[in-house]
Amino acid sequence: MTAKDHDQRRDYNKQVLREADLDPDPIRQFQSWFDEAESSGLVEPGAMVLATATPSGAPSARVVLLRRTDPRGFTFFTNYDSRKGRELAANPRATLVSYWAELERQVRIEGVIEQLDSADSDAYFGRRPRGSQISAWASPQSDVVTDRETLEQRLTEVEARFGDGEIPRPPNWGGYRLVPDLIEFWQGRESRLHDRLCYRLTKGAWTIERLAP
């Protein structure tokens, strides 16, 4: 294969981010950017990259869907036995990153992960479509599977097991909450002189600093 340069350039100039515009609480600030992303009609504004790492520091990353923002943090749902689940069990520090291209905005959130109470995970699982509930039982997320047919066979078995009855939450499936200690808001500006405003939790209070782009 021959090398290919990706040299296209865009200037960013849609909006500005000033210290005076910010909410003193970064989670409320995130919610207000998220609301704008939603009302702008973006596809999957809640899709975020979740980065985890092994205790020795080997990183891995994948997309998850943000399902809840509240004063305690940011919640997503997954399989606790998956690769991310295993990494988080050994090293609970994680990062979430949103990128809303149409708004020229990025948010990065760093902190510590905790598992949701089982009652909260049960409540969310109960609201999922039945097909997703069945897949959660059928799919040993991140394990190697022989082929697609094997997965579909597992699905059929789970369907037969539960019949028309209510499907309980699998014990290895549920929510994680990222409790933040750093949240950075990035707004694209002209000539790469972007705005970066970073909240850090120090001794229980949020401070805000501007970072060089």
Ligand X SMILES: Cc1cc2nc3c(=O)[nH]c(=O)nc-3n(C[C@H](O)[C@H](O)[C@H](O)COP(=O)(O)O)c2cc1C
Q: 82 or 133, CB closer to ligand X?
A: 82
* Gap between the Cα atoms of 190 and 68, Å rounded: 33
Helix (H) or strand (E) holding 137: helix 130-138
Look up 192 and say whether it is catalytic: yes
- Is residue 121 near ligand X by the rule CB under 6 A? no
Binders of ligand X in range 79-108 (CB under 6 A)? 82-84
Q: What are 108's two structure tokens?
A: 């990065």
Query: ∠ CA(144), CA(64), CA(6), 5° rounding?
Result: 90
Q: Which of residues 49-68 bind ligand X (CB under 6 A)?
A: 60, 62-65
Q: Contact with ligand X (CB under 6 A): which of 78, 98, 133, 139?
A: 78
| Least distance CB 188 / ligand X (angstroms) | 22
Q: How far is the CB of 13 from ligand X (least distance, A)?
A: 28
Count how many Cα atoms sit within 13 Å of the Cα of residue 160 in the half-sphere of its side chain. Answer: 6
47 is a site residue for ligand X (CB under 6 A): yes
CB closer to ligand X out of 87 and 195: 87
Residue 165 contacts by C-beta under 8 Å, 6 or more apart in sequence? none
Residue 123 CB, shortest distance to ligand X, in Å, is 16
Check 62, 192, 200, 210 and give the catalytic one: 192
Question: In angstroms, rounded to a whole number, what is the distance separating the alpha carbons of residues 76 and 64?
Answer: 7
CB burial of residue 26 (10 Å; 0-12, 13-18, 19+) = buried
Binding residues for ligand X, per CB under 6 A? 44, 47, 60, 62-65, 76-78, 82-84, 141-142
Which are the catalytic amino acids? Answer: 192
